[in-house]
Amino acid sequence: MINTKKEECTVTKAVIAIDRTSVVAPIDRRIFGSFVEHLGRCVYDGIYEPTHATADEDGFRRDVVDLVRELGTTTIRYPGGNFVSGFRWEDSVGPRENRPVRRDLAWHSIETNQVGMDEFSRWLKLTGSELMLAVNLGTRGIEAALDLLEYANHPSGTALSDQRIKNGTEEPHNVRMWCLGNEMDGPWQTGYMSADDYGKIAARTAQAMKAADKDLELVVCGSSGSSMPTFGDWERTVLEHTYEHVDYISCHAYYQERNGDLGSYLASSLDMQYFIETVVATADHVGNKLRSDKKIKLSFDEWNIWYLDEHKASEEVNEEWREAPRQLEDVYSVADAVVLGNLLITLLKNHDRVASASLAQLVNVIAPIMTEPGGAAWRQTTFFPFSVTSRLARGEILNPRITVDSYTTAVHGNAPLVDSVVTVDADAAAVFLVNRSTTQSIEVSIDATGLGATGIAEAVTLHDADAYAKNTLEDQNRVGLKVLEDAVLLNGILTVVLPPVSWSAVALTL
């Protein structure tokens, strides 16, 4: 474990070489997806608050829409999450005054169904995002999934497509990406089941959905986390049933600092790398066993920082059956944002197989955006690395060669002090970096001669003398991006100095 006490900063050095031919994959914008679940105040008092001063005719907060657009999200997974395993989609369409109020067993709250797929699709158009829809395989199955598909995607002339038109949505939603349930390996999940049972129903549902539309992209449930006792074996069993019917297998991972061990926490992306490599190896094993030419992609459709241990202790899920209770409203620090930025670097470095990802979640619930009822909306610290990466990352992803010292962690073994990924397009490139050291500034020399860089367009860092500084309702702008000083480009060599516990980005003109 590294020393996390405050000491006078020293400077060490790192060298990064960028090879223009070391291409991971072209960027698919779905890697910058997010997640909206009917949980806590994510929907109600989050994206939807009809009495707010900025609300539009649908009741959506336009100040939140503006922040979502700035964040740069692309695909939004909806409506859950654990919520979907007890959800009757029919409850959430049609005249609002006729929609039933239900109990949500997943989060022990009251669901009014005032926001459903038709309204949410209109909200997505405001944010410029694509809908990624989950079907209920916990308490329902094939018939309900096919009905939802007909309602959502069929143009007209059938009972359910005509019902959609009658409800005010003339054009089909044309949802392309569908999740076959959610975390079906988890005992917390309504209707959870064994890998064999889930694989069978997922295969039958996938086959039926593709009979209706062969071009759908389907995501089968992987493990809820790499710590699950069935991790690996779950993926193998499920894919043996579903391999030829689906396109993606899901991965979910959340991270938090534990026991004051900041050094291990800053190296959390090593666990994500292990997770990805294990699922890829398992999927390819099944593919080889089935003699298939197909490669299963990964949908990392839940990832974030989540202080789950603290939420368990606070018993936020209770028997009061409240409407839109305050649940899972983590307030994030600079250190949390640095880890999130590093996790995003890891997703990009594995983008040849991780084709889609969803930051979970978007507003109020373990989210980069926070709101106060009737009041302000503001950016958490985690907002910044995501928004800048989404804005600057274009073209192809390059995997740089990094030469730097390592440090020892209690959880992950040895971890390099610096991590980085590079993206390059026709006229611009971007270098994303993290410094995991808690005490040392690191001078990084980046050989960008192969890119033909001509200048620095932007150089920013997220850092604070207090690694635990946060943005709160009382101080919404305590933490923000700063200019990355000492960034110099000379003869194709980019030199930057990374502060301790920092995430940084440098945009280059070519």
**Is 302 labeled as catalytic in the residue annotation?**
yes
Strand order of the β-sheet with 102-104 is 102-104, 109-111, 322-323
- The Cα 444–Cα 14 span in angstroms is 5
- The Cα 192–Cα 201 span in angstroms is 12
Distances (CA, A) of 305 to 115, 322, 329, 360: 26, 25, 11, 9
Catalytic residue among 150, 235, 257, 302: 302
Cα dihedral across residues 77, 36, 269, 316: positive or negative? negative
Q: What are the residues whose beta carbons fall under 8 Å from the beta carbon of 395, sequence distance 6 or more? A: 26, 27, 423, 424, 425, 426, 428
Cis peptide bond N-terminal to 81, omega within 30: yes
Q: Which residues pair with 133 in a beta bridge?
A: 78, 178
- The Cα 90–Cα 27 span in angstroms is 36
**Is 183 labeled as catalytic in the residue annotation?**
yes
> Considering just the CA atoms, what is the radius of gyration of the chain in Å?
23
- The Cα 507–Cα 386 span in angstroms is 15
C-alpha closest to that of 41 among 312, 316, 382, 305: 316
Alpha helices, H only, 62-188: 62-71, 117-127, 142-153, 159-166
Q: What are the residues whose beta carbons fall under 8 Å from the beta carbon of 382, sequence distance 6 or more? A: 304, 305, 332, 336, 337, 340, 368
CB 35 within 8 A of CB 361: yes
Residue type, 508: L
Element counts in the chain: helices (H) and strands (E): 11, 27
C-alpha closest to that of 328 among 302, 308, 347: 308
Catalytic residue among 183, 235, 257, 396: 183
CB count within 10 Å of CB 455 equals 9
Q: Of all helices (H) and strands (E), which one includes residue 439?
A: none
Q: Which residues are catalytic?
A: 183, 302
